[in-house]
Amino acid sequence: MKDILIADRYRVDRKIGEGGFGLVYQGTDLQSGEEVALKLSDIEDDWEAAQVEKDTYEALDGGVGISRVHWFGEECDHYVLVQDLLGPTLEDLLNYCGRRFSLKTILLIADQAISRIQYIHSKGFLHRDIKPDNFLMGSNRQGNTLYTIDFGLSREFRFAERSKNAEGLPLGGTRRYASIKNHNGRTQSWGDDLESLGYVFVYFARGSLPWQGLKAATDDEKAARIKELKEGLSGEALCDGFLPGEFATYIDYTRRLAFDDKPDYSYLRRLFHRLFRAEGFKYDHVFDWTEKLFDEMQSEVSPTVPLT
C-alpha cells in the first residue's frame, strides 16, 4: 500500500485520536525521522478555529509544556496541523489508573497545570476549554512534563475585554468543566480557565462530577440543571470527603474573580505546595501511572530460579 504523505514530507502512520475537532494521526517526518502528530480538520468546517489554533501555538512557542508547530496547511480537503508527538492525555491515564488519582498525583498535576495556564495568560490568551483531554504528558525525556493542547476555542484577552459586559452568550467549551460565569452567558476571562481546572481536580479525586449523568427532556434543560447544581455546591461541598480544604479554597477563590481581576497564580501554587510538604510527599515525578506501570513490568519478569 502506498504511503500517505502530507506536504510531501510527513508520512501518516496510524490513527491515535478523534473528536469534534477532527482526527489525529501519528506520523513520521521523513526528513528528520522524528515522530509527529498530525491533526486533521475538515476544510468545510470552521476554518477560523484551525487558523486560530495554529496562530496561538506559534504565539506560545517556546513555553514549557507547549507543543511545537512543524507545519500547517491544506491537504486533500483538510487543514493539517503537524506538531510534536506527545504521550497520553490525563483522561487516558485516569482510566488506566482505575478512574481515581491519589492526592500526590493530583498535586503534582496541579503545580504544572497552574503554571501552564499562567504562561498562556501571560502571553495574552485565554484557553477557554480546560479539561482532562486537553492535558497530555510528554514523551521520552519529556515524559514527566505536562502539556496543554487544543487552542481551537482560545481567544486573545484584548478581544474578550471588548465584550466583557456582554450577557446571554452561548456556553463555550465543555459543559462538564465550564465555569459558572460561562453557564450564565458572560464573557470568559482568566478566572474561568482556573475555575474549570478546579473542577478537573475534583473529577480526578472523585472519578466523576456531581452533575454528570443528569437526565433532562432537552439539552437546554440539562444545561440549566448542571448550572443550578454547580451554583448550589460550594468548594467545600465539592471536595468534602475527597480532597483537603486547600482545594475548596482554590475553587471558591477562582469563582470570586471578576472579569478584570488578575489571578494570584503564586498564591494558588503556594496553597498546594504547603499541602504537598505537609503530607510528606516528594517532588520525585512518581505519578500513579508511573507506579502502576512499574508494578506491571515487575510482575511480567519471571523470578530467577537458582540452579542446584
Distance of CA 147 to the CA centre of its chain: 8
Distance of CA 160 to the CA centre of its chain: 21
Which is the catalytic residue, given 42, 61, 111, 129? 129
Q: Distance between CA atoms of 299 and 245, rounded to whole angstroms?
A: 37
What is the C-alpha R_g of the chain?
A: 21
Q: Are strands 10-19 and 22-29 parallel, antiparallel or unpaired?
A: antiparallel
Q: Distance between CA atoms of 96 and 289, rounded to whole angstroms?
A: 7
Nearest Cα to Cα of residue 126 among 98, 161, 78: 161
Q: Distance between CA atoms of 67 and 269, rounded to whole angstroms?
A: 23
Residue 54 assigned ligand-binding role:
no
| 129 is known as an active-site residue | yes
Nearest Cα to Cα of residue 171 among 230, 216, 121, 114: 230
Q: Distance between CA atoms of 193 and 232, rounded to whole angstroms?
A: 20
Q: To which residue does cell 456556553 refer?
A: 171
Catalytic sites, residue numbers: 129
Q: Which residues are annotated as a binding site for ATP?
A: 39
Which residues contribute to the annotated binding site? 39
